[in-house]
Structure 1
Amino acid sequence: MKFDKPVLGGPCWTELGTSDLEGAKRFYTDLFGWRPETDPRPEAGGYTTAHVGDAAVAALSPLYQESQPVAWNVSFAVADADDAARRVTEAGGSVLLGPMDIFDVGRFAVALDPAGAAFQLWQARAFPGAGLFNAPGTLGWVELATRDTDRARDFYTTVFGWSVNASQWYTQWGLDGEDFGGMAAMGERFPPEVPPHWMPYFAVEDVDAAAEVAVRAGGAVVLAPTAVGDVRRIAVLRDPQGAAFGVYAGPED
């Protein structure tokens, strides 16, 4: 992505809901070299922040509801979570949880777009979001997979004011033209039972090596390392508990 800190309207954080917190800690530490720190407070419910150096870059947490899928979630920064939640519903989406205060760190909500893709709203207080982007082991791109790209374009530009840079094959989301993510149409390669979803991409130094590490650590390769253009390489991986995420090396543009 073209910015290196949380920006209003843009992705500011990503967190994994997992059925095996300790297993997820081991897997992502092996893969990205993360240093996980679990909040010791009982009311935090095992919420674990992953660090690269001193920077908080992502989170891992147990599943809090039986219906919650094992999946990565993407949070977008907003100035006012209550106002953003109102815009979501007015634009045809829905709010599943919140808005609610999370200790003194911020105000939070979980929402669905009109097609059912989940995302999160984050109104920062003490915690603005990730402290590092675009470096190995950190968030560098977010991507929406959906079966209704036209409706998604209308929804997200209405809610967040994103700019759209679209070609015949791919749509890129941006803020004032500074792209941070994209949208892919869910075609035949997506089984019918796979719902629309947001997925984070993490930067790595070597995509092929990252895929090999993921497999050795108990994960799987969903999309084998693939060249995109002349300088970028990507892969989609799955952790041992089933959560999918992307990795990439090279420029984001």
Structure 2
Amino acid sequence: MSYVTRNQPDGTPTWIDLRVPDLDRALAFYGALFGWEYDSKAAGGSGAAGGRDLGTVCLLHGKPVAAITQAPTTGSGSGWTMYFATADCDGAARRVTKAGGSLIEPPTDIGGLVGDLGRAAVAVDPVGARFGLWEGRAHLGCEIVNEPDSLVRNDLVTPDPGPARDFYTAVFAYTLDLNETLPDLDFTFLRRRDGHEIGGIFGFPAAPSSAWATTFEVADTDAVVHRAVAAGGTADAPEDTPYGRSATVTDPFGVEFSVIARP
């Protein structure tokens, strides 16, 4: 799927946002990297999902693919936050706390100049990884995915994968599958009830903390790495993997994410 025209099924990664201490610098960086254009009016101004509005909406081919918002410091929720689709944000939030997670921002209606955008919450799972919940109304979430310069994947990297697997299966009723392509890694696929893979949990003992890793698809990994460095970020050398050519990029605020050019 590339174009999204309706709310995604429950448990599907559906939206991402980023909070930064310097909005203008962030917009310049990600614009240089992905060719995004921006629309702050569509969401009603500054802010973030879980606050009062979406923030500055990032557009690809005129469609929303992410949001970036001003935050007092990088530490106030730094990093890309991924939001799971839900038809009932309040019910999902209750399942989060029942399963051992906690709410950073309770369910809140999100508005903008176009009206009732949706309802959102931000939570932390039992291993310390932050994520969001998004009940789409006027705003579906990412309307382009799985194509160059848009979101393609989210995986949880954690030193403690057991409690994470228990938590997400309890909240979203995922089924679990081992990754037979990379048998030496502790990697578990997460699948919706219909069998669709939504991401995975990577058990990595050396990880300093738990976090949902965001991956963007690109047409040319090497070119994106070059643009990232030229725009003030840093990047690791691209590597070929069974899934494509990938690299880890760090933006000017220290936020890490991955890019991949799939075969």
TM-score by length of 1: 0.89
- In structure 2, the residue matched to 1:173 is 190
- In structure 1, the residue matched to 2:85 is 77
Q: CA deviation at 1:215?
A: 0.8
- In structure 1, the residue matched to 2:11 is 9
- In structure 1, the residue matched to 2:95 is 87
State the aligned residue count: 244
Q: 1:216 to 1:66 in 2, by over 3 A?
A: closer
User: What CA distance in whole angstroms lies between the structure 2 residues aligned with 1:41 and 1:100?
Assistant: 15
Q: 1:14 to 1:162 in 2, by over 3 A?
A: same
- In structure 1, the residue matched to 2:222 is 208
Structure 1 counterpart of 2:146, from 119, 131, 134: 134
Q: 1:184 to 1:129 in 2, by over 3 A?
A: same
SS in 2 for 1:71: coil
Q: Aligned partner of 2:172: which letter?
A: F
- In structure 1, the residue matched to 2:22 is 20
- In structure 2, the residue matched to 1:224 is 237
For the Cα contact (< 8 Å) 2:60–2:149, is it kept in 1?
yes
For the Cα contact (< 8 Å) 2:40–2:46, is it kept in 1?
no
Q: CA deviation at 1:69?
A: 3.5
SS in 2 for 1:224: coil
- In structure 1, the residue matched to 2:50 is none
Q: CA deviation at 1:148?
A: 1.1
Q: 1:107 to 1:55 in 2, by over 3 A?
A: same
The gaps in structure 2 that reach 5 residues or longer are 48-52
Q: 1:211 to 1:147 in 2, by over 3 A?
A: same
Q: Aligned partner of 1:146: which letter?
A: T
User: What CA distance in whole angstroms lies between the structure 2 residues aligned with 1:145 and 1:114?
Assistant: 13
Structure 2 counterpart of 1:37, from 36, 39, 43: 39
Structure 2 counterpart of 1:108, from 109, 120, 131: 120
For the Cα contact (< 8 Å) 1:19–1:70, is it kept in 2?
no
SS in 2 for 1:187: coil
User: What CA distance in whole angstroms lies between the structure 1 residues aligned with 2:228 and 2:196?
Assistant: 31
Q: CA deviation at 1:36?
A: 1.2
Deviations 1:60-118 (A, max 9, x none): 01116785142110000001111001100111111111111112111110101001100
TM-score by length of 2: 0.86
For the Cα contact (< 8 Å) 1:3–1:178, is it kept in 2?
no
Deviations 1:150-179 (A, max 9, x none): 111111011011222213422222223221
Structure 2 counterpart of 1:238, from 250, 257, 262: 250
Q: CA deviation at 1:10?
A: 0.4
- In structure 1, the residue matched to 2:107 is 99
User: What CA distance in whole angstroms lies between the structure 2 residues aligned with 1:198 and 1:234?
Assistant: 17
Q: CA deviation at 1:181?
A: 1.4
Q: CA deviation at 1:127?
A: 0.9
The gaps in structure 1 that reach 5 residues or longer are none
SS in 1 for 2:237: strand
SS in 2 for 1:141: strand
Q: What is the CA RMSD across the aligned residues, in angstroms? A: 2.0
User: What CA distance in whole angstroms lies between the structure 1 residues aligned with 2:163 and 2:36?
Assistant: 37
Q: 1:34 to 1:42 in 2, by over 3 A?
A: closer
Q: 1:109 to 1:65 in 2, by over 3 A?
A: farther
Percent identical among aligned pairs is 39
Q: 1:135 to 1:166 in 2, by over 3 A?
A: same
For the Cα contact (< 8 Å) 1:12–1:130, is it kept in 2?
yes
User: What CA distance in whole angstroms lies between the structure 2 residues aligned with 1:36 and 1:73?
Assistant: 18
SS in 1 for 2:91: helix
User: What CA distance in whole angstroms lies between the structure 1 residues aligned with 2:24 and 2:2?
Assistant: 32
SS in 1 for 2:80: strand
